[in-house]
Chain A
């Protein structure tokens, strides 16, 4: 049983006189303890709405409908009432947001914002809470934590603010951490520091991490399993190496082709995906990516493509997937079929993961 099991999650925003927007449409994924799962996609693909729905942070407004299940350790987070949700949030499940300046309260000192969590969930008060807060700031690499506790968010640099936010999130040693674009607002050298810190947290405390990002480079270095989202649907799920080595969905192929690579030579043109995400609205029934897809065939229009499962937890939603480079057609690798043991007596695991 996975720690978090998201099953057929859907979020729709309806407004009178306007078409209903399916922000998230049947998203399913699971996260095990100590695992880093990535949700990747461009703006508007529903990755942030997914995380907000799981946390129960979507603004209550008429027309909002959340369906499906998000089972965390046996309890469906979507069915909880406000009180028990508040108990879980911050203690068992915590979140790190993109922009640390707008998610910290500007008129309250950092110390108070950190101790607030400790008081609410661990019942710590006074000097004990102060000491614990200083320890937390120290753990996330903020120098001179005692003085920092008295300072306000604007007195900290961007990297420090993000560290403070992480300190608040890990204050109660949550079992699940959701990081929504945690490094997008930061410079590359600071980004490297923060990613290293998150990796350390996962390694040392076995926290499960859901990493939401648009940066394929960040995903390549951090995530164990990756879900690629497009227009509110998971279009491809795979372990890290197979995804980058042999992407099966045309959108994933397109994304990988359109990122300029630091280790590539100068002069070669990028292969952008034609059109833009806004074209999605035109074809609501078929595959959402079809208007931009170079491998479009007639079957793409009409009904949304079913999820195709292949070996090793891989799945994709495409009726005409690009061929895997350098391998014969995967005849022996139907759904659920074990990896054929070729060569040595012991079948090597497909994915050699970091210890």
Chain B
């Protein structure tokens, strides 16, 4: 793949949020490492899906990519231009080419602006269109593209249903003619039958306009449906990146395996037969992540060597990138899963000291 095929390139991206204590002195007592060293690249015209549970840093990564949250470190290259060091004015003009679709269409649309005003605002800011009529023409074309009627222009967001509101959000991103669209949970606020409409719309727009997507969602089935490549995040870092078909057929990282087996499939035959890997406990706090491999506290395949003290890097295994020391040996079945007891790692300075407690009757850690 040549350099120009890659639209977005992220190198060692870090976003750390300081935890502050005290009223006057405002000491920084620690950092929440929301994103901690992520490398990824998105080819032009393709869809990169980002999945993970809440708190894994996937939304922060999306926002940091668009410089909506300033990254603590690392590089973000968009079409060859380094964004992290770009001057504010230049960044603003770049923003026309990268837009965002938000999760909740109700709270991301101004309730006191009608649709025309919502769509015109961006055009005016970026100086697109010569006059009012020209802008009207652009807006009209955009409305057709997202499947909204023309009479929508004079209406306000509350007059629309959830699916239509999300279409307005998509139109707002689309009206500027962007190349990259970051969609943060674009369908999770919608009903099942409406979800499919919006997913299909995103697919269609990509086919017609050659858009590049970064789709962030917690729903694996949606992400897998829409993406070419899927990255799985856990505690601020990618643990696996694979073509979307491979991710389901041959997940390599233990966390991906557990995630895949936990997603309910609407088919009783599949549900009854497949093996389920139940993870014990909850996500550890990103303020005080486990040493070594972030996942070793909950990993059914964790080994006494290496896992607890050496952080695995992403490495290539047969077309996927996996951050696990023992991925090959797990894939061949050489390593067997074992029961893990739940561990509670408390954030520093909250309550008692970090305690490790084991759950005696954790329901079937491995079923």
Identity of the chain A residue whose Cβ is nearest the Cβ of B204 in the assembled complex: A269
Point out the residues of chain A lying under 8 angstroms from B363, CB to CB: 141, 193, 196-197, 200
Determine the distance from Cα of A139 to Cα of B363 in the docked complex, in whole angstroms.
Answer: 9
Q: Is the CB of B196 within 8 A of A258?
A: yes
Point out the residues of chain A lying under 8 angstroms from B278, CB to CB: 189, 192-193, 196
Report which residue of B221, B267, B279, B358 has the largest number of chain A beta carbons within 10 angstroms of its beta carbon: B267
Q: Is the CB of A217 within 8 A of B263?
A: yes
A217 to chain B minimum Cβ distance, whole angstroms, is: 3
Interface residues in A5-25 by Cβ distance below 8 A to B read: none
Q: In the complex where A42-B193, A143-B358, A196-B363 touch, is A269 in contact with B200 (Cβ < 8 A)?
A: yes
When A and B form their complex, what is the total count of cross-chain residue pairs whose Cβ atoms lie within 8 Å?
170
Q: In the complex where A220-B266, A262-B263 touch, is A276 in contact with B196 (Cβ < 8 A)?
A: no
Identity of the chain B residue whose Cβ is nearest the Cβ of A156 in the assembled complex: B282
Point out the residues of chain B lying under 8 angstroms from A192, CB to CB: 261-262, 276, 278-279
> Which one, A160, A272, A278, contacts B282 given CB within 8 A?
A160
Point out the residues of chain B lying under 8 angstroms from A270, CB to CB: 196, 199-200, 225
Determine the distance from Cα of A305 to Cα of B251 in the docked complex, in whole angstroms.
Answer: 47
Q: Is the CB of A214 within 8 A of B194?
A: no
> Which one, B53, B228, B244, contacts A188 given CB within 8 A?
B53
Report which residue of A144, A159, A187, A197 has the largest number of chain B beta carbons within 10 angstroms of its beta carbon: A187
Q: In the complex where A43-B191, A216-B192, A262-B220 touch, is A193 in contact with B279 (Cβ < 8 A)?
A: yes
Interface residue? B210 (CB, 8 A):
no
Identity of the chain B residue whose Cβ is nearest the Cβ of A258 in the assembled complex: B196
Determine the distance from Cα of A51 to Cα of B259 in the docked complex, in whole angstroms.
Answer: 31
Point out the residues of chain A lying under 8 angstroms from B357, CB to CB: 143-144
Point out the residues of chain B lying under 8 angstroms from A261, CB to CB: 221, 225, 265-267
> Which one, A157, A189, A240, A259, contacts B192 given CB within 8 A?
A259
Q: Is the CB of B259 within 8 A of A254?
A: no
Identity of the chain A residue whose Cβ is nearest the Cβ of B248 in the assembled complex: A262
Report which residue of A143, A216, A258, A277 has the largest number of chain B beta carbons within 10 angstroms of its beta carbon: A143
Determine the distance from Cα of A278 to Cα of B224 in the docked complex, in whole angstroms.
Answer: 29
Determine the distance from Cα of A265 to Cα of B244 in the docked complex, in whole angstroms.
Answer: 9
Identity of the chain B residue whose Cβ is nearest the Cβ of A199 in the assembled complex: B363
B289 to chain A minimum Cβ distance, whole angstroms, is: 16
Determine the distance from Cα of A258 to Cα of B355 in the docked complex, in whole angstroms.
Answer: 45
Q: In the complex where A139-B361, A187-B218, A266-B224 touch, is A220 in contact with B53 (Cβ < 8 A)?
A: no
Point out the residues of chain B lying under 8 angstroms from A278, CB to CB: 161
Q: In the complex where A192-B278, A193-B278, A263-B248 touch, is A221 in contact with B271 (Cβ < 8 A)?
A: yes
Q: Is the CB of A143 within 8 A of B359?
A: yes
A8 to chain B minimum Cβ distance, whole angstroms, is: 27
A35 to chain B minimum Cβ distance, whole angstroms, is: 15
Determine the distance from Cα of A218 to Cα of B54 in the docked complex, in whole angstroms.
Answer: 20
B250 to chain A minimum Cβ distance, whole angstroms, is: 13
Identity of the chain A residue whose Cβ is nearest the Cβ of B222 in the assembled complex: A260
Q: In the complex where A189-B258, A260-B224, A266-B228 touch, is A141 in contact with B359 (Cβ < 8 A)?
A: yes
Q: Is the CB of A220 within 8 A of B264?
A: yes
A residues in contact (CB < 8 Å) with B:
42-43, 138-139, 141-144, 155, 157-160, 187-193, 195-197, 200, 214-221, 240-241, 244, 254-266, 269-274, 276-278, 354
Q: Please name 13 pairs of A and B residues whose Cβ atoms are closer than 8 Å in the assembled complex, sorted by A.
A: A144-B344, A187-B218, A188-B218, A188-B220, A189-B262, A220-B265, A254-B193, A257-B196, A258-B196, A261-B265, A265-B245, A273-B193, A273-B196
Q: Given contacts A188-B259, A259-B192, could you give 15 more A-B pairs where the C-beta distance is less than 8 Å? A: A143-B281, A143-B344, A157-B282, A196-B363, A217-B263, A220-B271, A255-B193, A257-B196, A258-B192, A260-B196, A265-B245, A270-B225, A273-B193, A277-B161, A354-B272
